[in-house]
Amino acid sequence: VGAVLIALTGAVASAEPTVARLRAMRRAHLTDDIQATTTDEIIAESREHAAVIASHQGIFDLDLDAGLLSLSAEAVRILGFGQSATELKHADWLRYLVPDDRDVYRQALSSNLAYRIEFRIKRSDGNIEWYELRATMMGQASEAGRCLGLIANVNARKEAELFQTSPQTDGLTGLGNRLALFELLEDAKDQFKTLALLILDLDRFKTVDSSVGADGADALLREVATRVEKKFGKKAKIFRV
């Protein structure tokens, strides 16, 4: 049973083959009530684990007393940290959070209640994306010792919300759109002599789109926007037109 539990903990791709094997094991031990009951419990846990993976969420398990955060393999993948389940110090986890969002996170931990919060994480590839954490504080009513929940990437939804609330923002890249550029030029008026306009075009972009698909092309545009903004963001206003 211990070996089966270890195998289930490490399973990421699919739990259904494991469930089938467990059912076969249960049939082989029909006369062993303890073994059969234990196997039923493991099957239930395996289904729950599969459901979490299917929902594109990862397990977030923070031991406040030990100051250690355990992330499931799916959580690690969602966060862009790698492919395997991992454990890291809570202080190291906090460094991944964008500084402006750390207070929201700390307040949730001190509430000793169930909560849902959103914050930004700086991924290992340098990109900053939005995440949602649904968790419950566990332990004594006066002082919780554990935070257990699910974490998910909600960057696409946040970008859509930004586009809806800011009609001058490009929903894909987060840069200013054509309307924002026209407004800037209109406001500039007599200052044109002090301005410089640089147009950056991606050659054969339609070829890229046809070869890697719309999702791949969108990812390329976001990456180009991120790099251009990192290079010139403090010196210039950047738009996607």
Give start and end residues of each alpha helix (H) in the chain.
Answer: 2-10, 16-28, 33-54, 73-79, 90-96, 102-109, 155-165, 178-188, 205-232
Residue 153: per-residue pLDDT: 93
Residue 200: per-residue pLDDT: 85
Those residues with Cβ within 8 angstroms of residue 239's Cβ, 6 or more apart along the chain or in another chain: 170, 175, 176, 177, 178, 180, 181
Q: Give mean pLDDT in consecutive 10-residue pieces for the chain, a chain of 241 residues.
A: 38 45 55 54 56 74 94 91 84 93 93 90 87 90 84 86 69 82 79 81 82 82 88 82 78
Give the pTM.
0.52
Query: What's the token pair of residue 93?
Result: 């986890």
Residue 111: per-residue pLDDT: 83
Total Cβ atoms within 10 A of residue 32: 12
Rg over CA atoms, the chain: 24
Between CA 13 and CA 28 the distance in angstroms is 26
Between CA 140 and CA 112 the distance in angstroms is 9
Residue 129: per-residue pLDDT: 92
Those residues with Cβ within 8 angstroms of residue 17's Cβ, 6 or more apart along the chain or in another chain: none
Total Cβ atoms within 10 A of residue 145: 13
Which secondary structure element, helix H or strand E, spans residue 135, and what is its range?
strand 128-139
Pairing of strands 114-122, 128-139: antiparallel
Between CA 216 and CA 212 the distance in angstroms is 5
Contact predicate 115/121, CB 8 Å: no
